Amino acid sequence: MQKETTHISARHKTQHWLRNSLTLLAEAFIWAGCVYAATLLLGIKAGDVHPFIWFVHLGWGLVFLVVVSHFIPNNAYSRTARRDEVIACAMKTALAVSVLALAVFTERNSLQFLSCLLFFIVLTVERLILNGWFIRYCTQSAHLEHGVLICNEETIWQQQALQQNTYGLKLTRLTETEQAITEYLTAHLETESVYCVPSALPATELETIAHLCREQGLVLHLLPQPVSALNKEMRRECRGTISVLSPTKLPLQSFVNRLVKRLTDIVLSLLVLLTVFPIFAAFAFVIIKRQSRGPVLVTRHMCGMNGKTFQCLTFRTRHYEAAPSFLDGINDPGYFQFGKFLMRTKLELLPQFLCVLWGNMTIVGSQMMRPEHYTDYRRELKQLFASG
């Protein structure tokens, strides 16, 4: 029996290693493909580049990914990973690989930066596709994870909650004595995990179950009783020798996530400001000047992080000296014709990418507000960070 258990564990480890190795190799090819695509986008002929260069990028990409995977594990093959967690992991991996690439390849030209930008996008899409495929794979009847749920009649709802999610779990509920549970785990070697409600067993029997799980290589999950007053996900903290459940930190409370978000804002805002914005700004300058006297851009005092005010830029959509009107939106006679078009298409907000580049705004975030509304917003923000 011990040999059969060891054989099953070794088979799972082999499958896990083979899957991760093939994924690393595929992502190394993605890195080399991004370099190749960047050469084409920059107008460099593929024939002008020595074929050996592609193998160099492929090899370095594999080395980068192997190093990064030790610090940032790939969570695309996780049954419980959320989409936002998969995206965050992919962006962290792409950022780390890009930093290593820029450190190794001393020629920091447009080819290197464009390759890194393409790798950001393609790797994120690839991880999302892998995660979607893995979830569908896990939910098939032949690939379900066999588990045991030890609970009592009062906590039977937890079995339904676990199986309703797309975790691919096939749970067997046990409410018998410690001896019956031990006999079941010994007889069913296909069992991979044990979910236990601590209140369903005495402390001594729970210790016996935990010892049995360690002997058979089973993963033991403890399901604490929920507290209805808490409306956030919880995380475990150690304060001295006591374990405490605390509200999970928001993603942007992490320095790494804030750094990734800021770098994303800089890259995307530069992409817009260097491509679309100059052409459209020149076009808007001519049209606005022809239809209305006054400046092309207008500024408004808006509130940013920690109540800091900044000048928010937008294209002017109203006549410069137009009187206030009781009509709302584009029905206001104070708007000139091109201003109505800018209002409908939201293109009046295009200059705000300058504010994003300066760090006063972010591409994805809360809506900007006037200083007089900041007090109410801060109160709502504190309620969001609270646990209940």
Determine the CATH number of domain 143-226: 3.40.640.10
User: Which tens digits make up the pLDDT trace of 168-193?
Assistant: 777 777 766 667 777 787 777 777 78
Alpha carbon of residue 57 to chain centroid = 27
State how beta strands 242-247 and 234-239 pair.
antiparallel
pLDDT at 3: 44
pLDDT at 301: 85
pTM, two decimal places: 0.53
Domain ranges of the chain: 2-138, 143-226, 255-385
Closest listed residue to residue 317, CA positions, set 301, 329, 302: 329
272-302 burial, b for 16+ CB within 10 Å, e for fewer? bbeeebeeeeeebeebbeeebeeeeebeeeb
pLDDT at 353: 92
Residues 54 and 32: beta-carbon distance below 8 Å: yes
Handedness of CA 203, 208, 213, 215 (dihedral sign): positive
Beta bridge partners of 219: 193
Residue numbers of the chain with a pLDDT score lower than 50: 1-5, 7-8, 326, 387-388
10 Å CB burial of residue 76 (0-12, 13-18, 19+) is buried
Identify residue 294 by its one-letter amino acid code.
Answer: G
Closest listed residue to residue 366, CA positions, set 354, 382, 377, 358: 377
pLDDT at 4: 46
Alpha carbon of residue 82 to chain centroid = 8
User: Which tens digits make up the pLDDT trace of 353-381?
Assistant: 998 998 888 887 777 778 777 777 777 76
